[in-house]
Structure 1
Amino acid sequence: MACMVTGIVARPAAGAGWHGPPAGPAGAEDKRIAVVALDMRNDGVSGVVDGLTEAAGVLGWHLVVLDGAGDPTDLAAALRTAVAEDTAADGVVLVGLDAVRERPYYGAAAEARLLPLVGWHVGPQPGPVPSTPVAVNVTTDPRTVARLAAEAAISRSGGHAGVVILTDYQYAIAVAKARGIANRIRACAQCNLLELVNLPLTETGRRMPAEMARLLKQYGDALTDVLAINDLYFDDAVGELQQEGVPTDRLSLISAGDGSPSARDRIRRGFYQTATIAEPLELQAWQLLDELNRLMAHQPTSGFVAEPEVVTRADPEPEDPDFRASYRRIWQR
């Protein structure tokens, strides 16, 4: 299947009404979609899958969800199953994995079967993922996310932020965010980039408490803000901060990604975390199925890129655009 993509333009989403695609093909009937999730324990991944389930219900499509459980062997098996002929999938959604790195497990079979593939956070930029059959990677622009996260730290600290960045070098999108944050902090004349830490997301539960203790000991008062590419790091950091007796307003935690329920709760309570630059997960999930629907109708993908949501204590629940009504209208559902 030839996969065409229109020019990608970021448009405002939160609080500004619907700025997504104005039109598209009516929803196809009775489709079976395989969803491969990197790890359903990750709130961002599970949030997208929940949104896919909701959107599939509107379309009348059947989802087969395959959980890689954060394990390379399980993920490889899930990818092989998704593209296998006996799974009888009409399309595939990849959620949270690296499309280039995992290509050996799905690429050849997907291309042979002309399966339309889309993904969420499967590459470093929105749009098609080069060297893979993935027609569109649905994500906010990581450069925008990184800039907003860094500027939240700069603003909060009055331009004197001492920053540690937590990232995961396994994922291109995580590297892109970390580099963007680092570049913005370096451009702040009186800010200090203390360290960039590579800590795999799959190891946060085991390693994050000790890592947080090390950072506190090594940098002391020079450390004012910890920025991470995902809220998951902070789920496993706050216990150590409490144990060390760090006041909740002494150290700021800011995430460049996802906007998990636990992160939003910490922000509302003023419990260490001050901001998360959240993905509009439900909107993106509906977009994923809309992009698949376009591909199955042999039409171009939409080129739509939603803006991230800046979640702070002053604005803990940014307003979503009316995407459900808009996609229902496009799908004629």
Structure 2
Amino acid sequence: MPSHRRTARAGAVVLAVVATVLTGCERGTSTGGGSYSPGPARTGCPTVLAGARAAVQRAMTTHSAWDGPTTGPRAVPGKRIVYVAQTMNNPGVAGAAKGVQEAAKTIGWNVRVIDGQGTPAGIQAAFSQAITLRPSGIVIGGFDPHLTAQQVAKANAAHIPLVGWHAVDAPGPSKDPKLFSNVTTRVQDVARISADWIIAHSHGHAGVVVFTDASIPFARNKSELIKKALATCSGIRLLAEENIPIPDTSSRTPQEVSSLLSRFRDRWTHSVAINDVYFADAAPALRAARKKGGGAPFNIGAGDGDPSAFQRINSREFQAATVPEPFAQQGWQILDEFNRAFSGRPASGYVAPVHITTAADSGGATTWDPPGYRAAYRKIWGR
């Protein structure tokens, strides 16, 4: 949502809505992002539940003030950046690339995007092509740099700064592989708030299915953190963990969802997935089982927040919430990190806070675009 629509008044409205969302409704009713009550008011983990409710309220609130960097070097002129994309079919990778391109117009740089087509060979070829262009900097857009170890080494030897987007587990500078900075939210925060949402939404009593891709270390770690956080509430039951590789979601998820419905029936009240894409592919099976789009199982995506996820949430079609990445803001941050590298300054160290989007606080938007960063970066860059 454009920053000018994000106001303090909107934040106050969200607080009021969150309070309503978390106070409960009767079993069998739903308002998409609304509450689920498994029966008489009872709490299996009162302390954990209270903390989860407070965390969810904070994560749903939209603040009008920018909390990122407000000082830094003026724009270095005439730089050329190449964005090597894991695949532009990935909405997150494409969203961050769009943010980089938008910021480049403001700072006065040239950006070229090279699509790795989602295969190891394609990504390696794209990275090699990027190096031959002798750019000022290269973005590692959404893939593991160890996949392109030779290309990373060549870029390092040529003194081409590398900035990652979701390239390694942790945000900030990386020594191995050598990255000037990695722009991402903290996986621990994303996992924790996803679990908190389930705990708060269910009043501490839920039957949960976790969807993950164990072939990706980052995704496997995220799902392990989610399970650990869910286990802090004694009223939460982990019914199953479904390991479905992301490339196979469209072919495997519908069948697995049908099987889960047969096994658990009404005991399956909530789901959490390491990426929103699982719920796009779960929807046909849930619809075929005559499940209501705004009813159980209530689904939350622990990361990404692509436009299709927002559309499902806004229309209450088999997804109740997501923990979205601020793609455009991260694209602007990527260019700011490069500008710091070119100026001999350290990385900014900024990490965007986690946010939860539901139908109650999305405002009809199709992406999470926090306020204030464009004006802040323009001021830093002197633009």
**Is 1:44 aligned to 2:89, yes or no?**
no
Aligned length: 320
**Cα displacement (A) at 1:17:** 0.7
Q: Partner residue of 2:11? A: none
Residues 12-21 or 32-41, more deviating: 12-21
Distance in 2, Cα, partners of 1:316 & 1:154: 21
Equivalent positions of 1:165-184 (< 5 A) are 165-184=210-229
Query: Could you say what secondary structure the match of 1:194 adopts?
Result: strand
CA deviation after TM superposition for structure 1 residue 315, in Å = 0.3
- Residue 115 of structure 1 corresponds to 160
Name the structure 1 match of 2:37: none
CA distance in 2, matches of 1:76, 1:320: 33
Contact 1:165 1:226 in 2 (8 A): yes
Q: Counterpart in 1 of 2:110?
A: 62
Q: Does 1:21 align with 2:69?
A: yes
SS of the equivalent of 1:173 reads helix
Match of 2:203 in 1: 158
| Residues 1:103 and 1:74: Cα distance change in structure 2 (over 3 Å) | closer
- Deviates further, 194-203 or 177-186: 194-203
2:284 is aligned to 239
* 1:218 pairs with 2:263: yes
| C-alpha separation in 2, matches of 1:87 and 1:319 | 32
Match among 193, 196, 201 for residue 148 of structure 1: 193
Contact 1:14 1:307 in 2 (8 A): no
Alpha carbons 1:98, 1:171 under 8 Å: kept: no
Q: Percent identity?
A: 40
**Corresponding position of 1:321:** 371
Q: CA deviation at 1:291?
A: 0.3
Q: 1:129 to 1:197 in 2, by over 3 A?
A: farther
Q: Quick one: which amino acid aligns to residue 271 of structure 1?
A: E
Alignment deviations for residues 80-122 of structure 1 (CA, whole Å, 9 cap, x no partner)? 2222xx31211011111112x3142422101110110011111
- When structure 1 is superposed on structure 2, of 242-251 and 272-281 the one drifting more is 242-251
Distance 1:129 1:196, change over 3 A: farther
Q: Distance in 2 between matches of 1:310 and 1:167?
A: 19
Give the aligned residue type for 2:199. Answer: I
1:220-268 superposed Cα distances (whole Å, 9 cap, x missing partner): 2221111111111112111221122222212111001111111111111
Other-structure match for 2:183? 138
Q: Which residue, 120, 125, 129 being the options, matches 2:174?
A: 129
1:272 & 1:188 partners in 2: Cα distance? Answer: 25
Return the offset for 1:14.
4.2
5+ residue gaps, structure 1, are: 1-10
Does the 8 A contact of 2:304 with 2:323 survive in 1?
A: yes
| Partner in structure 1 of residue 313 of structure 2 | 267
How far apart, CA to CA, are the structure 1 residues paired with 2:216 and 2:175?
15
Which of 291, 294, 299 pairs up with 2:337?
291
Where 1:29 maps in the other structure, the secondary structure is coil
2:303 aligned partner, one-letter code: G
Shift of 1:129: 2.9
Please, what is the CA RMSD of the aligned residues? 1.9
Q: 1:163 to 1:130 in 2, by over 3 A?
A: farther
Partner of 1:207: 252
1:306 has 2:352 as partner: yes
Corresponding residue for residue 18 of structure 2: none
Letter in 2 for 1:48: A
Go from structure 1 to structure 2 and tell me whether the alpha carbon gap of 1:153 and 1:122 turns closer, same or farther (over 3 Å shift).
same
Contact 2:73 2:343 in 1 (8 A): yes
Q: Deviations over 1:33-74 (max 9, x none)?
A: 111111211111111111111011111211121112212211
Cα distance change of structure 1 residues 202 and 129 upon mapping to structure 2, 3 Å threshold? farther
Which structure has greater strand proportion?
1
**Counterpart of 1:245 in 2: which secondary structure?**
coil
TM-score (norm 1): 0.91
| 1:218 positional shift | 2.6
Query: Over alpha carbons, which structure has the higher Rg?
Result: 2
Asked if the contact 2:173–2:347 (Cα under 8 Å) also holds between the matched residues in 1, the reply is no
Opposite residue 64 of structure 1, the aligned amino acid is R
Structure 2, unpaired ranges of 5+: 1-57
Tell whether the 8 Å contact from 2:124 to 2:148 is kept in structure 1 after alignment: no
Whether the 8 Å CA contact 2:328–2:369 is kept in 1: the answer is no
1:5 aligned partner: none
CA contact (8 A) 1:15 1:319 kept: no
SS state at 1:237 partner: helix
SS at match of 1:175: helix
